Amino acid sequence: MKTTFKILAVLVAMVGFSAASYAQSNASATIITPISIAVVDHMNFGNVAASGSLGTVVLTTAGARSVTGGVSLPTTTGTVSAANFTVSGQANFTYSITLPSSVTITRVSGSETMTVNTFTSDPATTGTIGGGGTQSLSVGATLNVAASQVAGAYTSGSTFNVTVAYN
């Protein structure tokens, strides 16, 4: 009887250890719309009057200008525009915005330069693509004007990059 009981106990223990348990899962993925950015309006500080003192022109993301130092804004403004972009992608997804640190603009038919820096954007550092799959992005900056800056049209030799990436 004792031997039978021992064998039965060993068999029960073996059955308990050999019982397997498992779960099942599926694999899936969703491919989202790639994020892209397209320029709508290029940045333009408009007409600026320099003097014997250095100064700055601050262009807001809304396209408004203000000045400091020896710079003034003439009544004839010229074309004034913040840089405006359309960001397209997956509706309701957030994205990060990376702006340049500075850009040099050079006088057309000359070698004189000015620096554009302190870039700002609206939205500031993170945007959310709207339900329709797009969002507007505006970029402003500061133009640094030297004392007695030579008159003429100034432009960047190449475009500046505004980068967007999904979070």
Alpha-carbon gap, residue 153 to 108, rounded angstroms: 6
Size of the chain, expressed as the number of residues it contains: 167
What's the whole-model pTM score? 0.85
- State the Cα–Cα distance between residues 110 and 121, nearest whole angstrom: 31
Asked if CATH classification 1.10.10 holds for the domain at 34-166, the reply, yes or no, is: no
Per-residue model confidence (pLDDT) at position 44 = 98
User: Is 90 exceeded by the pLDDT of residue 8?
Assistant: no
pLDDT at 5: 67
Q: Is the pLDDT assigned to residue 16 strictly greater than 60? A: no
Q: Is the four-CA dihedral 62, 63, 66, 69 of positive or negative sign?
A: positive
Whether 9 shows a pLDDT value over 70: the answer reads: no
> Sign of the C-alpha dihedral, residues 126, 131, 133, 139?
negative
H/E element, 97: strand 94-98
Statement: residue 11 has pLDDT above 70: no
pLDDT in tens, 83-142: 999 999 999 999 999 999 999 999 999 999 999 999 999 999 999 999 999 999 999 999
pLDDT tens-digit map of 34-43: 999 999 999 9
- Pick the residue with more confidence: 3 or 67? 67
Summarize pLDDT for 63-80 with one digit per residue, the tens.
Answer: 999 999 999 999 999 999
Burial class (CB in 10 A: 0-12, 13-18, 19+), 152: exposed
Residue 144 CB: number of other CB atoms within 10 A? 19
For 99, how many CA atoms within 13 A lie in the half-sphere containing its CB?
A: 24
Overall average pLDDT of the 48-74 stretch: 98
Is the pLDDT at 18 greater than 90? The verdict is no
Domain boundaries, the chain: 34-166
Task: Return the number of other C-beta atoms located less than 10 Å from residue 85's C-beta.
Answer: 21
pLDDT of 17 over the 80 cut: no
